[in-house]
Amino acid sequence: MKKHNFSAGPSILPQEVLEKASAAVLDFNGIGLSLLEISHRSKDFVAVMDEVRTIVKRLMKLGDDYEVLFLQGGASLQFAMVPYNLLSTNGKAAYTDTGVWASGAIKEAKKIGQVEVVGSSKDKNYSYIPKDISVDSSFDYFHCTSNNTIYGTQIKDFPKVDTRLVCDMSSDIFSRELDFTKFDLIYAGAQKNMGPAGTTLVVVKKEILGKTGRDMPTYFDYQLHIEKESMLNTPPVFSIYTSLLTLQWLEKNGGIAGAEKRNIAKAELLYKEIDNNPLFVGLAAKEDRSLMNVSFKLTDENKKEAFDTAWKNAGISGLNGHRTTGGYRASLYNALPIESVQVLVDVMKSIS
């Protein structure tokens, strides 16, 4: 039985993407070699790299003033790469603390330079998004996390700041329409909405680089990665190719606008059941609820065994909440069909 995959990541991928990626592992482009065997310098893979970078800019409606990179180390490496490339030796950066990953980004940046936390929701276990953020031009950049995978909150309106805007979009990249030209740097691990684990997308406005006066490790330098077209070292070919397939699937199915429409429908279906069913309660502030990660818990823990048995018997996978929050978390990434959400809702209705 095909599972209903609500995993927070690595997450569900479209079936056609899995089939094409599987075929490429055996024979890539009919060349008689596996995708896992070919040189990253071969014309076949260079074409993949060129196309995936092009499709990212097309989906985001970005011009040639932006560069697209596919790197390694996960979004966690970007916690250090961002300040190395943007935080001047005598400057300071502004951050919001809205969850575990935002907190991790702050921790790494503080090792490199001066950081000021200008908004935090830690006081209420990260259950909301801090509002009325003010960041002036005395800061080198402002860093935020658009969607909080663990706690189920999401920024609806990004603050207007008088400095560079940097955003970790790891868990909601390509899930909703945004004016991406407002951002100076975006990064996202692939394993939520874009492909398998192993590569990280970085989209950066080229004019902001090379101004810090810092000497940094070679791999940390965005400009060097740009010069080498994401091939400063051997790239993770499978992750990048599968990301290309996923973005092609996304474009074929209405692009980001189409994905947003489907994601809203999925989220509304599940949140309606949470709000109307007295056995469940949401963990995130209603105005800040994520379209991607729905966090909730039982109001009666005596029902836990019955509920857990029911959703597992229904073929649902990956519903347990993060260890820091408990409860449950349903991740509704782009590739998850609304039919899977309906299965979950039906199970929730069945518990009494």
Establish whether 192 is a catalytic residue: yes
* Active-site residue, selected from the candidate residues 192, 205, 266, 297: 192
* Active-site residue, selected from the candidate residues 168, 172, 184, 288: 168
Question: Considering only CA atoms, which of 325, 316, 348 is closest in space to residue 4?
Answer: 316
Cβ neighbours of residue 139 closer than 8 Å, sequence gap 6 or more: 91, 92, 93, 94, 116, 161, 163
The Cα–Cα gap between 116 and 106 comes to 9
Asked whether 26 and 348 are in contact (CB, 8 A), the reply is no
Measure CA 127 to chain center. 19
CA dihedral 350, 306, 329, 334 (to 10 degrees): -50
Edge to edge, the sheet with strand 114-120 lists 66-71, 200-205, 185-189, 164-168, 141-145, 92-97, 114-120
DSSP string, 276-333: H-TTEEESS-GGGB-SSEEEEEES-GGGHHHHHHHHHHTTEES-BPPTTT-SEEEE--
Asked whether 13 and 242 are in contact (CB, 8 A), the reply is yes
Establish whether 168 is a catalytic residue: yes
Residues designated catalytic: 101, 168, 192
